[in-house]
Amino acid sequence: MRILSLILCACLAGCAGTMTRPAEPSALAALLDDSAFPAPGRPADASDLFTLSPAMKAHLRSHAFQAKLREKGAARGLVNALYTKSDLQLDYDATVTQTAAQTYAARSGNCLSLVIMTAAFARELGMKVRFQSVEAEDTWSRTTSLYLVSEHVNISLAPAQPLFNTYAPDSELTIDFLASRDASRLRTRELEEADIVALYMNNRAAEEMLQGRHAQAYWWARAALLARPGLLPAYNTWP
């Protein structure tokens, strides 16, 4: 995947999951000059981020999908159904960050989008979901006058009720969209759902800036800050 963070000055760069002592959202809001930007054409809203579309629910109920769950178990059956070429044939697309329903409809997405869609399906199946920030090497790029840093997240799935109520490491399946043999050896740090929501908003702000839509970018960046005031990348993404 890639979590996009627009960096206006290289020395301000921070890690994607890095948290600092957060200010209160009300205190942050008082520092923002909303009047400098026109009202957004579309609200910067992520309330439907993990919402399954009717088509996704129908896919879950399909005979082929249910057969995979029975054959391989919930977690492995879900992964097999979503990410094998014989089923959805999802493709990687780093250009845009989408909701679960949008990713399913497009049959493509970046890592964050694929993590969000996988989480939505897993929760519908009653699985426990754990989001993680992966300490992989940052990737920098430049588009016109904008610098971007790409960082990485993955997801782990586990049955809602472990066998005999004991924790078994083998019962958790980690899904990583980083095409690397070393992915399983990289250090990770657990993220909360609120972090994922804020990172989605931060990505949307960066993507709007790349399209020259600075007003819309402002409202997404603002939403990311207020959703997770301690998330450092959101402070770097400003039009």
pLDDT computed for residue 161 by the predictor: 63
CA-CA distance, 232 to 199, in Å (whole number)? 10
Domain boundaries, the chain: 3-236
pLDDT the model gives residue 224? 93
Residue 35 is predicted with a pLDDT of 87
What are the tens digits of pLDDT across the range 203-227? 999 999 888 899 999 999 999 999 9
Residue 89, pLDDT score: 72
Closest CA to 119 of 51, 26, 20, 24: 51
CA 84, 190, 47: angle at the middle one, nearest 5?
75
- Per mean pLDDT, which range of 26-30, 56-60, 69-73, 123-127 is the poorest? 26-30
pLDDT of 11 higher than 50: no
pLDDT the model gives residue 14: 30
- DSSP-derived 3-state class of residue 138: strand
* Model pLDDT for residues 38-76, shown as the tens digit of each residue: 988 888 999 999 999 999 999 999 998 999 899 988 899
- Model pLDDT, residue 99: 98
User: How far is Cα 173 from Cα 226, in angstroms, rounded to an integer?
Assistant: 32
pLDDT in tens, 69-107: 999 888 999 988 887 767 777 788 888 899 999 999 998
Task: Judge whether residue 4 has pLDDT over 90.
Answer: no
| 109, amino acid identity | G
Cβ atoms of 182 and 215 closer than 8 Å: no
pLDDT of residue 194: 94
What pLDDT is attached to residue 21?
54
For the chain, the helix, strand and coil percentages under 3-state DSSP, each to the nearest 5: 45, 20, 35
Record the pTM. Answer: 0.84
pLDDT tens digit sequence for 170-206 = 578 888 876 555 666 778 889 999 999 999 999 999 9
